[in-house]
Amino acid sequence: MVKILIDGIEYQVESGTTVMQACNVAGVEIPHFCFHERLSIAGNCRMCLVEVEGTPKPIASCAMPVAKNMSVRTGSEMVHLARKGVMEFLLINHPLDCPVCDQGGECDLQDQALGYGRDSSRFFEEKRAVSEKDFGPLIKTHMTRCIHCTRCVRFMEEVAGVPNIGGFGRGEDMEITASLEHGSDCSEMFGNIIDLCPVGALTSKPYAFVARPWELLETESVDVLDAVGSNIRIDVRDKQVMRITPRLHEDVNQEWIGDKTRFAYDGLRKQRLDKPYVRQADGKLTPVSWDIAFERIRREVEKLDGTELAALAGDLCDAESMLALKDLFSALNCPNIDCRQDGAVLQAQPRCSYIFNTSIAGIDQSDLCLLIGSNPRLEAPIINTRLRARWLDGDYPVANIGKPVDLSYPVEELGSGNQVLCEISEGKHPFCEQLERALTPMLIIGQGALARADGENILWSSKVIAEKYDLVREGWNGFNVLHTAAARVGGLDLGLVPSPNGIGARQILSGDFRETPLKLLYLLGVDEICPDSLKGLFIVYQGHHGDRGANIADVVLPGAAYTEKEGCYVNTEGRPQYGRAATQPPGDAREDWAILRALSARLGVTLPYDTFSALRAKMSQICPDLGNPNVISKSEWSEFGLQGSFGDTTPYSSAVKNYFMTDPISRASNTMLECTKWFLATHRVDPSANSAD
């Protein structure tokens, strides 16, 4: 610890702390533009000047480490004049266009100019003009406003790992531009530079000239477009989602979000289901009342036995709705219920077999990573940034089993599939030496591997590797399953898997149910399906978009999207988080649990809860883990998986081929469509993959 004086008051701070950090500890705010605690120090803006006793001139507090008995003055006349001078220089070329700038009301330069700006400038030369840059469909540029803080440059290089933005020229002639204009690779985290820009040089293109911040109602919630559960803020005006921005959560997403999370919200306005539909004799879906839709379902159900029914839960479902679905079909004596839309072989027990046991923040403590059929860059960009950050810390080998992956850090490609996995599990592969030397190794299994026909054997072999190389021991669990669906862990926690005498999603969606008496299929937000495999079934679809599920349904029930309802979502590491309603469902659409409750009454098996709070209370009673938000419940290590033969030579591949179109919301988004077109040059995007038919 080092003793220093800040404005005459003595403080103890850790050695190596910068003067700015020490001032923050002391509760003294230091104005700045270029400094960001998650980026390297640049010292460009000089707005953070302070006076240090014994120095002839002010120093940049962001770059100066503390020293023993250092005396710092933050409010002296010298400091005030220095900061006013810096502000005057920054405004020489910055246009005074606050009324038409999208950053207005949220601009750091605007805020600091209030405290340190002059009423007039002593400089009279013409302002610099900089041509606009093409940063793609997400970022709107006004580079004349740029103050050369280089936050965007450092983020893309250090955090995103795609250094396609740089500064060209020197001094006043310097320009921030991007090689994107020449079709180079880009990142799934690109939109974060909007938050980082302290002025209005980089703003959101979809949000341009849409709303002012003081017009928006803010709601804190969680993202459901992947399984990370990024903490977000939903901004609404006139019942419409205007934008989505990140919230700080150090253990999940820090202060970043992926581009799909940030920009796919326009898909919430398109292809929405706002009234019930029933398919008529001519094959057309016709809008009807709720009563007529429920009556049509009742007539079909009353003719069938429970074994002739099946229910599947989709990837965006909240835990409460899945519990209501389970209770309803259990009351109908139906053994065929499943939350594993992709056919993954994961079972409801033990919990350690289907969660990211290391935790997202625990990646920082690992010293080796083995990927098995996973591409974190496409499946979970937030987790990919954690892996990159750990690689940047040094001495962190990352290896991959499966098709080669293009990540933002070096990866050792071990091979394509089962043969390599078998060799590692038997200790016959050269990579085994690295596993044996590692102190805190981890592996990540993707859904692309677990959804294969031999997924159970892959899961079992991965467990063998975890046990053989000490990935699981007291105080450390390096066995991780990376999900792509926000609903998956919650569904498994609640036991949404078929009974021993039932059939699951794999059999149903592949058409492998012809020998069973299956007649009716209830789809709760299920859209990743092949319509041809379900011919002959009476299909009820409950969801919020007219996507694949609605197109093949005989009855369509309009539900609420994640921004329109309360709900519990359990992320890939097993952390329950509560989403909140920011607006209302359109038209006659209702919350999913309420639809299921009303339907149960019509079917004569009324569910034992009339309110959402009563449903959540029952959920917490059945699964106490879900009643403790933001708390990860660990489970004891035990047996799982099924040993079999390695006969399939097909390479492992990621479950996500197109990051920008993985769900009904993103497929309905024009912004995501433009992103798909823009990023085809990266060769990581298949325009047909994960997209609507």
Rounded average pLDDT over 244-266: 97
Better-predicted residue by pLDDT, 313 or 641: 313
Rounded average pLDDT over 79-86: 94
Confidence of residue 205 (pLDDT cuts 50, 70, 90): very high
What is the 8-class DSSP label of residue 159? I
- List phi, psi (to 5°) of 34: -80, -25
Cα separation, 144 vs 349, whole angstroms: 58
Cα separation, 680 vs 658, whole angstroms: 10
Confidence of residue 164 (pLDDT cuts 50, 70, 90): confident
Quick one: pLDDT at residue 533?
80
What is the 8-class DSSP label of residue 298? H
Q: What is the mean pLDDT of the chain?
A: 92
Better-predicted residue by pLDDT, 87 or 183: 87
Evaluate if residue 155 carries a pLDDT over 70.
Answer: yes
Rounded average pLDDT over 427-449: 96
Cα separation, 302 vs 299, whole angstroms: 6
Confidence of residue 592 (pLDDT cuts 50, 70, 90): very high
What is the 8-class DSSP label of residue 512? T
Range in 104-118, 172-186, 274-288, 507-521 the model is least confident about:
172-186
Cα separation, 535 vs 514, whole angstroms: 11
Quick one: pLDDT at residue 235?
97
Half-sphere exposure in the Cβ direction for 562 (13 Å, CA):
34
Burial 358-393 (b: 16+ CB within 10 A, else e): bbbebbeebbbbbbbbbbbbbbbbbbbbbbbbbbee
Evaluate if residue 680 carries a pLDDT over 80.
Answer: no
Cα separation, 366 vs 390, whole angstroms: 8
Predicted TM-score (pTM) above 0.85: yes
CB 212 within 8 A of CB 219: no
Better-predicted residue by pLDDT, 495 or 677: 495
Cα separation, 660 vs 672, whole angstroms: 5
- List phi, psi (to 5°) of 211: -155, 165
Helix (H) or strand (E) holding 232: strand 231-237
Cα separation, 344 vs 398, whole angstroms: 25
Residues 6+ apart with CB under 8 A from 622: 323, 494
Cα separation, 52 vs 5, whole angstroms: 10
- List phi, psi (to 5°) of 480: -135, 135
Among 404, 406, 459, which Cα is nearest to 640's?
459
Would you tell me the crossing angle of helices 612-622 and 319-331 to the nearest 10 degrees? 80
Encode pLDDT of 399-424 as tens digits. 999 999 999 999 999 999 899 999 99
CB 519 within 8 A of CB 260: no
Residues, the chain: 693
Rounded average pLDDT over 631-642: 89
* Pairing mode of beta strands 555-558, 538-543: parallel
Share of the chain above pLDDT 90, in %: 81
Share of the chain above pLDDT 70, in %: 97
Quick one: pLDDT at residue 124?
80
- What type of residue sits at position 37? E
Quick one: pLDDT at residue 513?
74
Quick one: pLDDT at residue 531?
77
Helix (H) or strand (E) holding 600: helix 592-602
Q: Which SS3 state, helix, strand or coil, does residue 242 take? A: strand
CB 225 within 8 A of CB 665: yes
Among 578, 615, 583, which Cα is nearest to 596's?
615
Cα separation, 544 vs 525, whole angstroms: 7
Encode pLDDT of 371-387 as tens digits. 999 999 999 999 999 99
Evaluate if residue 12 carries a pLDDT over 80.
Answer: yes
Rounded average pLDDT over 535-562: 95
Cα separation, 111 vs 106, whole angstroms: 8
Among 140, 184, 183, which Cα is nearest to 163's?
184
Alpha-carbon 471 to chain mean position = 26
Cα-Cα-Cα-Cα dihedral sign, residues 329, 334, 335, 336: negative
Evaluate if residue 256 carries a pLDDT over 80.
Answer: yes
Cα separation, 92 vs 144, whole angstroms: 11
- For the beta sheet containing 217-222, the strands, ordered from the edge strand earlier in sequence to the opposite edge, are 217-222, 231-237, 240-246
Cα separation, 226 vs 261, whole angstroms: 8
Rounded average pLDDT over 144-171: 91
Confidence of residue 692 (pLDDT cuts 50, 70, 90): very low
Encode pLDDT of 610-633 as tens digits. 999 999 999 999 999 999 999 999
Among 74, 646, 105, which Cα is nearest to 416's?
646
Q: Which two tokens stand for residue 356?
A: 């990211």
CB 271 within 8 A of CB 545: yes
Q: Which SS3 state, helix, strand or coil, does residue 13 take? A: strand
Quick one: pLDDT at residue 689?
54
* Angle in degrees, CA 332, 336, 337, rounded to 5: 90
Quick one: pLDDT at residue 267?
97
Cα separation, 324 vs 331, whole angstroms: 11
The residue with tokens 């965006």 is: 316
Among 23, 102, 100, 104, which Cα is nearest to 65's?
23
Helix (H) or strand (E) holding 481: strand 479-482
Q: Which of 63-67, 89-93, 273-277 has the highest mean pLDDT?
A: 273-277
Cα separation, 676 vs 685, whole angstroms: 7
Encode pLDDT of 104-150 as tens digits. 999 999 999 988 988 878 888 788 888 888 888 999 999 999 999 99
